[in-house]
Structure formats: C-alpha cells, structure tokens
C-alpha cells in the first residue's frame, strides 16, 4: 500500500458520493503533493487530505480501475443528459430505442 503521494498519481474528488473530477499530481515537496487546483498532504497515513481543509466537504481517493470506469460512466451519462433528442431524425431515435431495449 502506498504511504506517500507521488508525481503522476491521479486523485478523484467526490461530493456526496459522486465523482466530481480528478487531478494529477504534477509537483511534490517534502510534505505536499501539488496539482493544478489543490495542495494535498503527501503522507497517506490518515487518508488524502487537502492542506488547510478543516471542513471536509469533499473527499478524495487515489485512482483505481473501478474509479476510472465509474468516472468514464459519469462523463457518458452527463453527455447524454445534454442531448436534444428533438433535433435527431426519427431513424436515429429508433436505433437508440432499439439499443435501450436490449
């Protein structure tokens, strides 16, 4: 099991059990791991924690194959929710419905 965050580690952020995004560690110091948006404590003995965060509204997890798949599914579902089906021709809608019924 990892004891410290390193350059290249991918960290997912969660809010209310939903993945809201991810960051990749691009720089480390003796005590901190830094992404483009956050500074995390490198030491993983008490989980992944943002430096200076006392509220703990979000939680974080190192990437796993399961989380990668969950993130991809989230992106697909979000993209589908923005599709305006009224702009599609009827044949495309029929093909979509056939897939949905499978």
pLDDT, tens digit, 9 for 90 and up, residues 55-88: 767 889 999 999 999 999 999 999 989 989 889 9
Q: Cβ(23)–Cβ(37) under 8 Å?
A: yes
Residue 1, domain member (yes or no): no
Residue 47, domain member (yes or no): yes
Residue 2, domain member (yes or no): no
Count of domains forming the chain: 1
pLDDT, tens digit (0-9, with 9 covering 90-100), for 29-59: 999 999 998 899 999 888 888 887 767 678 8
Sorted by sequence, the CB contacts under 8 Å of residue 21 that are 6+ apart come out as: 12, 13
| Placement of tokens 């965050």 in the chain | 5
Residue 31, domain member (yes or no): yes
Residue 3, domain member (yes or no): no
Residue 64, domain member (yes or no): yes
Closest CA to 53 of 38, 64, 65, 67: 38
Residue 38, domain member (yes or no): yes
- Give me 69's structure tokens: 């798949």
Q: Return the H-helix or E-strand segment holding 33.
A: strand 32-34
Residue 59, domain member (yes or no): yes
The pTM of this model reads: 0.77
| Pairwise CA distance, residues 49 & 55, whole Å | 11
Range of the domain at 33: 10-101
Alpha helices, H only, the chain: 65-81, 90-101
């Amino acid at each position: 099991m990892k004891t410290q965050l390193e350059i290249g580690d991918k960290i997912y952020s969660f809010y209310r059990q939903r993945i809201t995004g991810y960051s990749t560690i691009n720089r480390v110091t003796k005590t901190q791991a830094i992404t483009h948006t956050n500074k995390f404590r490198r030491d993983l003995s008490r989980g992944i924690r943002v430096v200076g965060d006392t509220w703990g509204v979000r939680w974080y997890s190192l990437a796993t194959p399961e989380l990668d798949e969950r993130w991809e599914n989230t992106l697909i579902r979000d993209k589908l929710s923005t599709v305006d089906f009224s702009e599609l021709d009827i044949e495309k809608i029929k093909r979509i419905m056939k897939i949905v019924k499978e």
